[in-house]
Chain A
């Protein structure tokens, strides 16, 4: 059982805090994605877990043991680096067997384990190749196999799929997910690609400016963002300034919408709040007495049609299925409403 526990993990570089006061509990066998924009501290957090960075503050507990001061070579962790960091002077099998050779295991055993792992990542028979003879996707698999060679307590991956093209990346996401489920190893993946995080993870940890913004399942993160940053970062959201009145209605640009009982209200009544609505939950109709906006752009994406509207200083995006396409043209003044129950009011 390898549950991970981070307590007040902090890393400062000079005066700058790359990771600030991160406390997390990660159950055994969980697939975790650390998600955030570049520079949000997610890679630093992964390196803290790996032991490649020494925390300025805080503790790391692995399976009940404090491993904060344990050097990386003494932790039984597997890691895949962003550059993959495969050794060009070794063959594919030697790369995979490297952690076993370092541990002084017999050559035959190491070789057998390498073959086994090559089978696991569907590269059987390529053991004697050189790294530079492999394609990008194959190198990716070798790096994953090498990270798993010692049956690690924790498997860490830093942007492992960022170098692959879109099709291969999606394929590898599914494969990595299936592999992790099969092995049941606690896995932590750093990514800036929200689609990747939502596809693979059991738990998504959204980070920004060194702090954890929200921890939750992909659906929770998507449907129920904890703050305006998460709402804006995950998927596309319309973020509009709003006011929540004491008589329970949402006011946007002077127009009021009654709060539905399934709307997510995350703030006390007041001004300067943010209304977050997904493009698919924006309703467009005839311009009447309600909120109106002008259509500035229409784009047919095939599976859906996107409307971009201008409402005062704000931009609103609406998404419709082709079958439900409203009769709206470019430059039209239309009425805007937000689907009841799908509205999220957040403190800004």
Chain B
């Protein structure tokens, strides 16, 4: 009889995520916030205080352009990744079970490579002396070997290489759960394979696609090594400048202020895409 009075879930269960959030997110964020308004001692460190100098410094054409560059690069990387991952995942889900497992394991193994290895591998591969330029000139496609790095192309290649496995992993579960009878039903009702894709497959996968976009966007926003290895100085993202300010310029208040702003911008972008991805009827 005593089992009847027992609650199905303990009352202290929600405490766990709350503590986690507090320890790993809110406390560090509060520290960062307090540092961002601290007073910088030129040539030294910083002392506690409250001033908005760091924020004011950010509102310049120079840093405005950097913020825009960061957002554009991450948004493009997100779009390219989802565009590549979507057809890939669709065909993956149509393979036999064994084949799917093999491909997923290979994909996961890519995640074990660090940003550093990927960055320097690509910079070698795209270089003039040891890269694909040699191969292309050997095949007679171009006159003389040339370097493809540093460039926006090289940076995008690196970012997409890093983020593609994540977008596939986000898309794979809903794609593989998609009932094949839905597509068959559409075809029985007169829809060509392309019409079926446009009217059934695509709308049913809109939410996971928005999810993948957000994930890649936020993920690439934090990448700070690749832009330095593969990009030109004008492609340096906000993350690069934050690292630069924090480590090389010893200006922690300014680095913290930029980090706060970056966080706000990514929250804004996530909110916007969630709004766009919402179902018209607002259900499920």
Are A and B physically bound partners? yes
- A72 and B188 contact, CB distance less than 8 A: yes
Alpha-carbon distance between A174 and B203 when the two chains are bound, in angstroms: 36
The distance in angstroms between the C-alpha atoms of A98 and B183, with both chains bound, is 13
B182 to A73, Cβ gap below 8 A?
no
Q: Return the contact of A73 from the options B192, B199, B200, B283 (Cβ within 8 A).
A: B192
Q: Which residues of B contact A91 (CB under 8 A)?
A: 281
Bound-state Cα–Cα, A21 to B185, Å: 27
Q: Is B112 in contact with chain A by the CB < 8 A criterion?
A: no
Chain B contact residues: helix, strand, loop or mixed: helix
Determine how close the nearest CB of chain B comes to the CB of A153; give it in whole angstroms.
12
Give every chain A residue within 8 A of B204 (Cβ-Cβ). Answer: 87-89
Residues of B within 8 A of A189 (CB): none
Number of A-B residue pairs, CB cutoff 8 Å, is 64
Cβ-defined partner of A102 (8 Å) among B181, B195, B279, B284: B195
Q: Are B179's CB and A73's CB within 8 A?
A: no
Q: Contact check, A72 vs B187: say whether CB atoms are below 8 A apart.
A: yes
Q: Which of B181, B187, B190 contacts A150 (CB 8 A)?
A: B190
Is there a chain A Cβ closer than 8 Å to B191's Cβ?
A: yes
Pick from B181, B195, B199, B281: contact of A81, CB below 8 A.
B181
Check: B189 CB closer than 8 A to any chain A CB: yes
Q: Is the CB of A81 within 8 A of B203?
A: no
A247 to B283 alpha-carbon distance, docked (Å): 76
Report the contact-size class of chain B (Cβ under 8 Å from the partner).
Answer: 20 to 34
Question: B191: nearest residue on chain A (CB-CB)?
Answer: A102
Is there contact, CB below 8 Å, between A79 and B199?
no
Known: A81-B181, A85-B179, A130-B281. A102 touches B199 (CB 8 A): yes
Q: Which residue of A lies closest to B192 (CB)?
A: A73
For B179, the chain A residues whose CB sits under 8 A away are: 83, 85
In this complex, what residue of B is CB-closest to A47?
B184
The verdict on B186 contacting chain A, using a C-beta distance below 8 Å, is: yes
Establish whether residues B184 and A52, one from each chain, have CB atoms under 8 Å apart when the complex forms: yes
- A85 partner, pick from B184, B203, B284, beta carbons under 8 A: B184
**Which residues, 194 to 235 on A, are CB-close (under 8 Å) to B?**
none
Q: Are A77 and B283 in contact (CB under 8 A)?
A: no
Give A256 to B229 CA distance when docked, in angstroms: 97
Instruction: Point out the residues of chain B lying under 8 angstroms from A52, CB to CB.
Output: 184, 187-188
For the complex, give the distance between the alpha carbons of A146 and B190 in Å.
12
User: Is the CB–CB distance between B281 and A78 below 8 Å?
Assistant: no
A99 to B188, CA, bound (A): 9
Q: How far is the CA of A91 from the CA of B199 in the complex (A)?
A: 13
Instruction: Please give, as numbers and ranges, the residues of chain B lying within 8 Å of A89 by CB-CB distance.
Output: 203-204, 279
Asked if A181 is an interface residue, CB under 8 A from chain B, the answer is no
* Residues 173 to 229 of chain B near chain A (Cβ within 8 Å): 179, 181-182, 184-192, 195, 199-200, 203-204
- A48 beta carbon closer than 8 Å to chain B: no
Tell me the bound Cα distance from A103 to B195 in angstroms.
11
What B residues does A81 contact at CB under 8 A? 181, 184-185
Q: In the complex, how many angstroms separate the beta carbon of A308 from the nearest chain B beta carbon?
A: 41
User: How distant is the Cα of A171 from the Cα of B247 in the complex, in angstroms?
Assistant: 76
Quick check: A132 and B184 within 8 Å, CB to CB? no
Mark A67-98 against chain B: 1 for CB-CB distance below 8 A, else 0.
00001111101110111010111010000001
Distance, CA A150 to CA B284, complexed state (A): 30
Contacts of B199 in A (CB 8 A): 98, 102
Is B283 touching A98 in the complex (CB atoms < 8 A)?
Answer: no
Given the interface pairs A52-B184, A130-B281, the reply to whether A102 lies near B189 with Cβ below 8 Å is yes
Instruction: Chain A residues near B203: list those with CB within 8 A.
Output: 89
Are A99 and B200 neighbours in the complex by a CB distance under 8 Å?
A: no
Which chain A positions have C-beta within 8 A of B200? 87
Chain A residues with a Cβ under 8 A of chain B: 50, 52, 71-75, 77-79, 81-83, 85, 87-89, 91, 98-99, 102-103, 130, 132, 146, 149-150
Q: Which 5 A-B pairs have the closest CB atoms?
A: A85-B185, A99-B189, A85-B181, A79-B188, A89-B203
List 25 A-B pairs, Cβ < 8 Å. Answer: A52-B184, A52-B188, A71-B187, A73-B187, A73-B190, A73-B192, A78-B188, A78-B189, A81-B184, A81-B185, A82-B181, A83-B179, A85-B179, A85-B181, A85-B184, A91-B281, A98-B191, A102-B190, A102-B191, A102-B195, A130-B281, A132-B283, A132-B284, A150-B189, A150-B190
Please give 11 more A-B residue pairs, beta carbons under 8 A apart, in addition to A85-B185, A102-B190.
Answer: A52-B187, A52-B188, A73-B190, A85-B181, A87-B185, A87-B200, A88-B204, A89-B204, A91-B281, A149-B189, A150-B190
